A and B are shown apart, each in its own frame.
Chain A
Amino acid sequence: DAGVIQSPRHEVTEMGQEVTLRCKPISGHNSLFWYRQTMMRGLELLIYFNNNVPIDDSGMPEDRFSAKMPNASFSTLKIQPSEPRDSAVYFCASKHSGSGSQPQHFGDGTRLSIL
């Protein structure tokens, strides 16, 4: 079974540029999460979608960050303009909605470096 698929795996770009991260959740999962991992703050939830609708975006750090889920099999996280402090590993995860105790399944992440 295919897991959560993220692209690109690595992204290096100069500050000020637009960055778009992509995620394909596991088929049949209707909850999707975007996380950011840094040494200082660990894994932080950025935004949560349920049935393609953004439910909680309180973790999105600034207006420079935006996320969309146009359909059940695709989501994007966009940073515009990017800044060096955005450098981190970004993970997408999906699960069946329902109890929070059901595990989330993570993609392998996108390592983002903003120069």
Chain B
Amino acid sequence: DQQVKQNSPSLSVQEGRISILNCDYTNSMFDYFLWYKKYPAEGPTFLISISSIKDKNEDGRFTVFLNKSAKHLSLHIVPSQPGDSAVYFCAGPGAGSYQLTFGKGTKLSVIP
């Protein structure tokens, strides 16, 4: 059973528009979340994180929103660029303090 779920396997967005990637989690005790971006034939790279004491964290064009009551987080990319086309993974704590539990990813395609 997945503790971190990304229910949309893919998303297409026009260049310049907003991309919204969603992630749901089951454990209300989760206290941090991370987003990773992955290009083909490369490893995942860390993008942005959020602590559960916040409901928003922003880094340039990337903003992550956390809704603890809904156990939902989202990554907003504004404006979207073709170079943002990649697979995006959200991750939360795992069973051990050192672990991360990853969602299965959402493939974002930004159309020029």
Contacts and interface: CB of A to CB of B under 8 A. Distances in A.
Contact of A48 (B44, B49, B96, B104): B96
B98 A101 contact: no
Interface string B71-112: 000000000000000000100011011111011110000000
A79 interface: no
Contacts, number: 57
Nearest to A97: B98
Given A100-B93, A101-B32, A101-B34, A106 B45 contact: yes
Interface string B38-79: 000111111001010000000000000000000000000000
Given A42-B105, A100-B93, A101-B49, A48 B98 contact: yes
Interface string A1-33: 000100000000000000000000000000100
Interface residues on B, range: 20 to 34
Contacts of A48: 96, 98-99
A42 B99 contact: no
Contact of B98 (A43, A91, A100, A108): A100
B102 A55 contact: no
Interface in A82-106: 91, 93, 97, 99-101, 103-106
B98 A42 contact: no
5 contacts: A42-B105, A101-B34, A101-B49, A108-B43, A109-B42
**Closest 3 A-B residue pairs measured CB to CB?**
A106-B43, A103-B46, A101-B32
Given A42-B103, A106-B44, A107-B43, 6 more contacts: A4-B43, A45-B100, A99-B97, A101-B51, A108-B42, A109-B41
